[in-house]
Chain A
């Protein structure tokens, strides 16, 4: 049984707990500035202050506390945007792949048109229209990325639909709708789950990028992307302000994709 499932699950679990209980877990107020404590190094280096485990930024704010609070926003976006994208994209994909005909033509055409836009440009354009903010980020992710689900799930549904067990179910009197729900859906679920967790990872990245270019929420709520942007300007004097959030971001995105792969194998009866 996969070590990656456990490793990624553990990391994401810890992160979720930290995010959920951020006010109690974080050692400091993430917004509290203290210019006398600016650019403190992490705990193992000379000049570290006890209590500031991962050091402070140039304004004297605690890096660890800011990262923990940043996890709230990252995970919230991941959860909401990922789930919504999945619901919309997978539903359209299943409908197109199962009913084919005109529903497929419309949905597939829409996907083609959609995917002709470069996603990053699309995102920035959307945010410009919607205005910066958490809701806009979530909306942008959903609006851009539903095609990823629709395309893959449509193909998967199409191939499942061509299998003889579907014909057998219909000879046995199942309606088309109940065939879709009860026979086909369980077989595409592993793929849906893998895509969903992957999408959560993508949502985390997108949120970080948009925070990085300052299109996310107001600058005083800590976000990983915002921290990376700030850390970049002082990387020679205080590398830790950049490296810790960057590493956390990397680990989180990796964990999401690994969790997806692990769960897929777990759920797939043929591989189980």
Chain B
């Protein structure tokens, strides 16, 4: 089965430095939600950035393919790649505080892509922006369109960002920890909203998080990342019932909300970390990377 997004053997490293992603492969099927979990620094955001073409210049792609809607992005010239990504994918970022340009009003920030990439007229784009803001349950849409980001609450800004991501009807959205910066009550609403929007628009979602509880609620499948390597890729149900990799089992044990809501938080056991490290090293040696 090939996915709408199909990453094959993606390998990245810091220029002249350590490898950040080691032959990562993952698929997101059309209209499905694929979770990407792993601890901080595992390389989750980096995968999202590679897909969206926003990798910092300090990072170079040394191998692999990123197929988006049947085209290998890495084989395209930069201009064409940007256009393709802009037309098919969008980002829901982590921090609603910095994800909107502070010196621009909300309206133009939503319509920008419609006008620039898709060539819509200004009137059409504005109408679309109003509709989509309405769809994410923003009250007083006209006022919000005229507001500057700092005039809105965090939850409101995240709604705007979700609206903005869906505005151009992308076929894939990368959501990078879209709820971590919000407080718990708002988190739930936002999660529900993303799910609702995604289902209605039939959008595929690459959902980056380190929260297995969240994954269990919204994802169809997931990849577990450890130190830049996918240690397990699984359908949701199989993962939660029969995790194969020891690191996955340890992660599950460390997530009290899922297996045992009242249980105390278990750290990932040291021997499991050791095991994964060894495996990563062996893999690296086989593939000839420096670690």
Contacts and interface: CB of A to CB of B under 8 A. Distances in A.
Among A100, A164, A169, the one with the most B-chain Cβ atoms within 10 Å of its Cβ is A164
A168 B150 contact: no
B249 interface: no
B57 interface: yes
B102 A167 contact: no
Contact of B86 (A163, A173, A183, A269): A173
B100 A165 contact: yes
Given A173-B85, A186-B104, A165 B99 contact: yes
Contact of A163 (B98, B109, B113, B148): B98
Contacts of A101: 57
A172 B93 contact: no
Interface in A101-156: 101
A172 B53 contact: no
B93 A269 contact: no
A270 interface: yes
A171 B52 contact: yes
A233 interface: no
Nearest to B52: A171
A170 interface: yes
Given A100-B57, A164-B95, A269-B148, A171 B102 contact: no
B57 A270 contact: no
A163 B95 CA distance: 9
B152 interface: no
B150 A175 contact: no
Interface residues of A, number: 20
B132 interface: no
Contacts of B104: 186
B188 interface: no
Contacts of A173: 82-83, 85-87, 113, 116-117
B49 interface: yes
A159 to B, nearest CB: 10
A189 B57 CA distance: 25
Given A171-B90, A173-B113, A270 B54 contact: no
A171 B103 contact: no
- Give the one of A101, A168, A169, A270 with max B CB within 10 A: A168
Contacts of A4: none
Contacts of A165: 98-102, 109
Interface of B: 49, 52-54, 57-58, 82-83, 85-87, 89-91, 93-95, 98-104, 109, 112-113, 116-117, 148, 150, 164
